[in-house]
């Protein structure tokens, strides 16, 4: 999340109004994590029971790491409740040996947004909202 926070203004230049992070943790853990990470701009959303994450198809077991059920890494660009772009790390599975973080990184998302902007005319771009 620190890189999303650092690049927040850059996202704004590409029509992103807000950046959210949802994680399978309670509000106390999320708030402590945000404070420890020095987050200023990213909004944190707790999914304590993992219900939202399960319904998104992203709930995985991470028992091999001692975590239990957690969210697989993914990101989405959402506009008016519609997913415009979907960024899911490869290898989605329970007890995955690795913890990939490339596809859903803020750098990759920004690169994708920039390439889409060059493909479309400026007047065809719409305002975007990012949910992570």
- Mean pLDDT in order along the chain per 10 residues (132 residues): 96 95 97 96 97 98 95 96 96 95 97 88 52 53
- Domain of residue 120, CATH code: 3.40.30.10
Look at the chain and report how many structural domains it folds into: 1
**Taking a C-beta distance cutoff of 8 angstroms, is the pair 95, 62 a contact?**
yes
Residue 7: domain span: 2-131
What is residue 132's predicted lDDT score, i.e. its pLDDT? 56
What is residue 104's predicted lDDT score, i.e. its pLDDT? 98
Beta strand residue intervals within the chain, DSSP E: 20-23, 43-46, 59-61, 69-71, 74-79, 82-88, 129-131
DSSP 8-state assignment for residue 91: T
Contacts of 62 (CB under 8 A, 6+ apart): 68, 69, 70, 94, 95, 96
């Amino acid at each position: 999340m620190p890189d999303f926070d650092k690049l927040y203004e850059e996202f704004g230049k590409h029509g992103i109004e807000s950046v959210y992070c949802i994680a399978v943790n309670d509000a106390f853990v999320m708030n402590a994590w945000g404070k420890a990470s020095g987050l200023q701009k990213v909004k944190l959303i707790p999914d304590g029971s993992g219900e939202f994450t399960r319904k998104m198809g992203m709930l995985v077991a991470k028992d091999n790491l001692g975590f239990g059920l957690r969210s697989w890494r993914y990101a989405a660009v959402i506009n008016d409740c519609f997913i415009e772009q979907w960024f899911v790390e490869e290898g989605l599975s329970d007890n995955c040996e690795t913890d990939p973080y490339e596809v859903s990184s803020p750098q990759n998302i920004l690169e994708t947004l920039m390439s889409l902007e060059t493909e479309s005319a400026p007047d065809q771009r719409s305002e975007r909202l990012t949910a992570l």
